[in-house]
Amino acid sequence: MTRIDEKAFWERRLAADWTESGVGYHALGRQFNAWVYRVRREVFLREASSLALGATSRVLDVGSGTGVYVRCWKQLGIGDVVGSDLTDAAVERLRERHPDVKFVRADVSRAQDELPAASFDAVSCMDVLFHITDDDRYLAAVQNLARVLRPGGYAVLSENFLHRGPEYTEHQVNRTMPWIVSALEDAGLRVERRVPMLYLMNAQVDAPPIWRKLWGGALRAATLTPPTGWLAGAALFPIERRLVIRADESPTTEMMICRRT
């Protein structure tokens, strides 16, 4: 597969669309993605609130995008939140929107002076790792997530943990659960739990091929216009909220919490 310039791709995308659709499932539009992020926030707040963190904790958010999870950490009462993003487009806007938060431009797949070792009690990396299309850079990113954590610190991440073979595309790679877990363990991150972050409101990457195509087509048809996208999101939202609580795993993005050994 041809190597792409990921930074250039995300600079263009976020400069043009610094909204939920810019950081989410772009083809489904902003109105639908706004409902999706309501579910994502609920899952994140529920799971992160159970961690031993508080006003004296220091947390790093990797791939901050529009600042969704920065705001979640602040809502949970974290005293010191640092955000980072690959792009200047995101960092500049985040600094304007959140003047009380430090933001740095950093590539998590490369060691950065801006992200010193053993300096955070937790790190979040949401919907970032599967956009690293090179396996070696992915492994380096996981190592860096572990590197910035203090012993016993938490890594909170989202991924598509496939039970089938990996899937490589131009801007996203869906990897297998054993491969991802092995990468985490090699970095010194012990998996504590994994929960659904979404169920129906996203691409069904780990479902049978026929269902993937049928449901993907239905979502795209339902979100062709902003009004229908809003209605589709509103209709699915209460169902999705129940599914992410009751299901043990999902056919799409899941959230995993690990701890630095």
Here the CATH number for the domain that contains residue 191 is: 3.40.50.150
Looking at residue 202, the DSSP 8-state letter turns out to be S
Looking at every residue in the chain, the average pLDDT score rounds to: 94
Joined tokens for residue 202: 């996203």
Q: Does the CA dihedral 146-148-153-157 come out positive or negative?
A: negative
153: in domain: yes
Residue 2 has pLDDT above 50, yes or no: no
Residue 110 has pLDDT above 50, yes or no: yes
47: in domain: yes
164 vs 33: CA distance, rounded Å: 27
Mean pLDDT of 8-27: 90
19 vs 57: CA distance, rounded Å: 28
10: in domain: yes
29: in domain: yes
User: Do 56 and 119 meet the contact criterion of CB atoms below 8 Å apart?
Assistant: no
52: in domain: yes
3-state secondary structure of 241: helix
Which range marks the domain in which residue 111 is found? 6-260
pLDDT at 7: 86
185 residue type, one letter: E
Question: Comparing 77 with 2, which gets the higher pLDDT?
Answer: 77
1: in domain: no
249 vs 198: CA distance, rounded Å: 9
86: in domain: yes
pLDDT in tens, 57-105: 999 999 999 999 999 999 999 999 999 999 999 999 999 999 999 999 9
Mean pLDDT of 99-122: 90
pLDDT in tens, 133-143: 999 999 999 99
List the 102-105 sheet strands across, edge first: 102-105, 80-85, 58-62, 120-125, 149-159, 254-260, 189-196
154: in domain: yes
Joined tokens for residue 59: 């947390």
169 vs 195: CA distance, rounded Å: 25
Query: What torsion, rounded to 10 degrees, do the Cα atoms 194, 195, 199, 204 define?
Result: 0
pLDDT at 4: 62
Alpha helices in 27-127, H assignment, sequence order: 29-48, 68-75, 88-97
pLDDT in tens, 184-200: 999 999 999 999 999 99
Q: How many domains does the chain have?
A: 1
